[in-house]
Chain A
Amino acid sequence: SQTIHQWPATLVQPVGSPLSLECTVEGTSNPNLYWYRQAAGRGLQLLFYSVGIGQISSEVPQNLSASRPQDRQFILSSKKLLLSDSGFYLCAWRKFSGDFSRPTNEAFFGQGTRLTVV
């Protein structure tokens, strides 16, 4: 079965410090990978998604960046955190259909990282 791991679960970082959040998926290959952010009491904002190694699509201009160094690894980074970067960060994966058509399955989410920038 497929599982998704995301860490750390909670993080408190000072303004201006760097950030690295990691997400890995097990039990599947060539997944589509996603980073979302949920601000307190608000909906989910899609930050980045990736359809393959080294392929990153950015949905919202930020001081954040994403990388996919391996097939099942997705990393969210920042060089200098802002107060507004605080939130609940969620990694998700979707199964790739295998025939280059659109994925047909729902997204499965990791447990999330609660980031507080102070």
Chain B
Amino acid sequence: ELKVEQNPLFLSMQEGKNYTIYCNYSTTSDRLYWYRQDPGKSLESLFVLLSNGAVKQEGRLMASLDTKARLSTLHITAAVHDLSATYFCAVEGESGYALNFGKGTSLLVTP
């Protein structure tokens, strides 16, 4: 059974601080996706990581992928309140068609 595990599941951090969200998965997939979900809203694509060692950055967020360790990280730099949301990672199943999500990390950035 494919497993996608995120930690932490809940994260409260102060503005200006740095933190990392981890995503471990059990497949041999070399692709991983990060999404953001605001409360009551749908999912928005953040990053697409398509190979081992891939690194993508957008503003205060940076995502990386280590396919050998089956690990992706989402690093938050100098957090601001606008980053408060739930972040999901997702990987493909063995067929390559199904996209399976972790349980999400609920991030709250406080003043």
Contact = CB atoms under 8 A, between A and B. Distances in A.
Interface of A: 32, 34, 36, 42-44, 46, 49, 51, 57, 59, 90, 92, 94, 102-112
9 contacts: A42-B103, A44-B43, A44-B88, A46-B100, A92-B99, A102-B96, A107-B33, A109-B42, A112-B42
Contacts of B103: 42-43
Interface of B: 31, 33, 41-45, 48, 50, 88, 90, 92, 96-104
B42 to A, nearest CB: 5
B97 to A, nearest CB: 6
Contacts of B50: 104
A105 B48 CA distance: 8
Contacts of A90: 42-43
B98 A57 contact: yes
Nearest to B9: A43
Contact of A106 (B41, B42, B45, B102): B45
B92 to A, nearest CB: 7
